[in-house]
């Protein structure tokens, strides 16, 4: 019998990738291409949707060619994507009306403050989120307010809004839709009805005509056109929810943390929507076909891997990201230096948009090696804050942490993470869980896999780091970290806020 495969497109913050998996969940082919980040003003981060689409086409083509595959060898294509990044395009010409506004962009700071002060609506109960620059709804409103003529074109029904999943699905199949996980990041979807919420649309000022239809994360949306002609596009799922799926965290109580540009910990809470008291988000885990949806608690950390990139590109102390481990190992410890990377404020559990980055504890003794340590340790300490919030909200304490993402290649960081959490840190055999999750969802939708049990049997431990730090050192380090965080918050003044025109 001819071997068949599932392809996954991981349209991430830093790059677009295509991975092809076989039935055992093993990587058969891989291709990646980075795209530009556009910084028109401090705090503004844009990407070019046309460049991203052409990269997606290029990497899918390349991944198939490298493995000598034809589109007909694929049973399905699944999409995992950077979440919240907002695109509006013309439904007739297909042209974006503006660059994509990414999730890291803080231009909506003033708008978000106004919305938060506006009213009676229980945003947390309806959407599971709080008002923050992170989410799509206010970004869309900013576009409507700021791009000349957009309001009218929206009223006339000439425009389409979408997150990255919608943009790609529309390009691939011509259908305008999004999945529940992506929709749950807009501040516009009602977590209970899984439909656009009239009260939120009214509050943020969004005409419903712009919005895509909300569909399950795994179902056949349509057949691809173009170079993938005939391949069923069968899943779309936000990248962090995809990673949870790829880690086979299907049961309530199972959690993972993914380290890419940012860090994202998700805890599956099953069919129960847990509203956080500790600065976490409530979000949709996934919805497979007509099954009831499952929910998750999420702790989002804005800056983890991107701090290493910043260290490489802006300070030029290393030539490549992995070299940070080499540099960090030139010293024994952080020398008392702490780095709080609040570049666009602090996300979970603090949600302080007025915070900005600080490096504290500097003395004449500090070398670039200590700075490299502080950069890596920042990821671990931020994870500890999120883990504590998860424990407070769910009442379940962690017995081990499943990790994935590019930063898991950093042994020094993974060991330090185990040390400061005081639990084993476990990496599964496929570190590419985002792509794997998208492939799993697509494969389930077309019946390539029999069910979740088959997927679970693909999960194996590839590496494990055991805690090895005395508790006094751990407590001292965490105390210092929290002092450093106090020095990062309350930095921005009213006059620093971007002026909305």
Partner 1 sequence: MPGNIQSIERAAAILRLLSGRNRRLGVVDLAGELNLPKGTVHGLLRTLQHVGFVEQDKDSGKYQLGAALLHMGSSYLDGNELRTRALNWSDSLAARTHEAVRIGTLHDSRVLVVHHVFRPDDSFQTLDVGSLLPAHATAMGKVLLADHPYAADELIGQGLEAFTDWTITAPDRLREELTLARERGWAWEVGELLAGQASMAAPIIDRTGRTVGAMGIVGKAERLLTTRKPRAELLSYVREAARAVSHELGAIPW
- Position among 465, 477, 484, 492 found at the interface with partner 1 (CB under 8 A): 465
- Say whether residue 30 binds partner 1 (CB under 8 A): yes
Interface residue with partner 1 among 326, 330, 367, 468 (CB under 8 A) is: 326
Whole-number minimum distance, CB 320 to partner 1, in Å? 6
Residues 335-374: x/- map of binding to partner 1 (CB under 8 A)? Answer: ----------------------------------------
CA angle 436, 166, 102 (to 5 degrees): 85
User: How wide is the angle at C-alpha 17 spanned by C-alphas 11 and 20, nearest 5°?
Assistant: 120
Q: How near is the Cβ of 243 to partner 1 at its closest, in Å?
A: 15
Which of 121, 321, 392, 469 is in the footprint of partner 1 by CB under 8 A?
321
The one segment of 8-16, 226-234, 448-456, 458-466 that binds partner 1 by CB under 8 A: 458-466
Among 463, 270, 290, 291, smallest CA distance to 282 is for: 270
Residue closer to partner 1, measured from CB, 221 or 465 = 465
Residue 206 vs 407, nearer CB to partner 1? 407
- Binder to partner 1 among 406, 437, 477, 498 (CB under 8 A)? 406
SS3 of 85-148: the string is CEEEEECCCCCECCCEECCCCCCCHHHHHHHHHHCCCCHHHHHCCCCCCCCHHHHHHHHHHHCC
User: Of 232 and 405, which has the nearer Cβ to partner 1?
Assistant: 405
Nearer to partner 1, 135 or 416 (CB): 416
Between residue 417 and residue 436, which ones bind partner 1 under the rule CB under 8 A? Answer: 429-432
Binding window for partner 1 (CB under 8 A); candidates: 143-151, 164-172, 234-242, 404-412: 404-412
Which span sits near partner 1 by CB under 8 A: 8-16, 24-32, 204-212, 230-238?
24-32
When asked if residue 8 is in the footprint of partner 1 (CB under 8 A), the reply is no
- Asked whether 83 and 114 are in contact (CB, 8 A), the reply is no
Q: Judged by CB under 8 A, does residue 217 bind partner 1?
A: no
Q: 349 preceded by cis ω (within 30°)?
A: yes
Q: Between residues 26 and 479, which has the closer beta carbon with respect to partner 1?
A: 26
Between CA 408 and CA 83 the distance in angstroms is 21
308 binds partner 1 (CB under 8 A): no
Print the SS3 string covering 152-189: HHHHCCCEEEECHHHHHHHHHHCCCEEEHHHHCCCCCE
Between CA 121 and CA 118 the distance in angstroms is 9
Say how far apart CA 186 and CA 236 lie, in whole Å. 15
Say how far apart CA 160 and CA 354 lie, in whole Å: 32
Instruction: Indicate the angle between helix axes 471-488 and 411-421, nearest 10 degrees.
Output: 100
By the rule CB under 8 A, 450 interacts with partner 1: no
Distance set, CA 42 to CA 45, 106, 134, 497 (Å): 8, 9, 16, 10
Confirm or reject binding of residue 68 to partner 1 (CB under 8 A): no
Binding site for partner 1 (CB under 8 A): 24-27, 30, 319-326, 406, 408-411, 429-432, 460-465
């Amino acid at each position: 019998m001819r071997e068949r495969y599932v392809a996954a497109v991981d349209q991430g913050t830093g790059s677009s990738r295509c991975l092809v998996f076989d039935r055992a969940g093993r990587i058969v082919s891989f291709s990646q291409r980075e795209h530009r980040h556009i910084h028109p003003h401090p705090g503004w981060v844009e990407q070019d949707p046309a460049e991203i689409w052409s990269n997606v086409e290029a990497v899918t083509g390349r991944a198939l060619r490298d493995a000598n595959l034809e589109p007909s060898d694929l049973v399905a294509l699944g999409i995992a994507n950077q979440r919240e990044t907002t695109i509006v395009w013309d439904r007739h010409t297909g042209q974006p009306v503006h660059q994509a506004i990414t999730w890291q962009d803080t231009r909506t700071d003033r708008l978000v403050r106004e919305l938060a002060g506006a009213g009676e609506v229980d945003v947390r109960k309806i959407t599971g989120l709080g008002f923050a620059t992170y989410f799509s709804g206010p970004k869309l409103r900013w576009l409507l307010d700021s791009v000349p003529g957009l309001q009218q074109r929206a009223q006339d029904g000439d425009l389409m809004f979408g997150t990255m999943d919608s943009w790609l699905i529309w390009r691939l199949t011509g259908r305008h839709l999004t999945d529940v996980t992506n929709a749950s990041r807009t501040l516009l979807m009602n977590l209970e009805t899984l439909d656009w919420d009239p009260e939120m649309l009214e509050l943020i000022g969004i005409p419903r005509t712009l919005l895509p239809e909300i569909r399950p994360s795994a179902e056949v949306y349509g057949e691809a056109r173009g170079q993938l002609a005939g391949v069923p596009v069968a899943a779309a799922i936000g990248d962090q929810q995809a990673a949870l799926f790829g880690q086979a965290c299907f049961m309530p109580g199972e959690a993972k943390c993914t380290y890419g540009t940012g860090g994202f910990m998700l805890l599956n809470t099953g069919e129960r929507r847990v509203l956080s008291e500790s600065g976490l988000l409530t979000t949709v885990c996934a919805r497979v076909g007509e099954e009831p949806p499952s929910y998750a608690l999420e702790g989002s950390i804005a800056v983890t891997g991107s701090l290493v990139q910043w260290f490489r590109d802006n300070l030029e102390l290393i030539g490549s990201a992995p070299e940070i481990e080499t540099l960090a190992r030139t010293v024994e410890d952080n020398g008392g230096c702490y780095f709080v990377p609040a570049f666009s404020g602090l996300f979970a559990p603090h949600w302080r948009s007025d915070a900005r980055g600080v490096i504290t504890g500097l003395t004449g003794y500090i070398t670039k090696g200590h700075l490299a340590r502080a950069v890596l340790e920042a990821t671990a300490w931020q994870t500890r804050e999120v883990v504590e919030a998860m424990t407070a909200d769910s009442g379940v304490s962690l017995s081990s942490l499943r990790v994935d993402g590019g930063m898991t290649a950093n042994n020094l960081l993974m060991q330090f993470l185990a040390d400061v959490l005081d639990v084993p840190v476990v990496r599964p055999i496929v570190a590419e869980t985002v792509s794997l999750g998208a492939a799993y969802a697509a494969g389930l939708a077309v019946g390539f896999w029999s069910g979740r049990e088959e997927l679970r049997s693909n999960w194996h431990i590839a590496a494990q780091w055991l805690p090895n730090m005395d508790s006094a050192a751990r407590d001292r380090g965490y105390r210092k970290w929290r002092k450093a965080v106090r020095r990062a918050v309350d930095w921005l003044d009213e006059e620093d806020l971007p002026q909305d025109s």
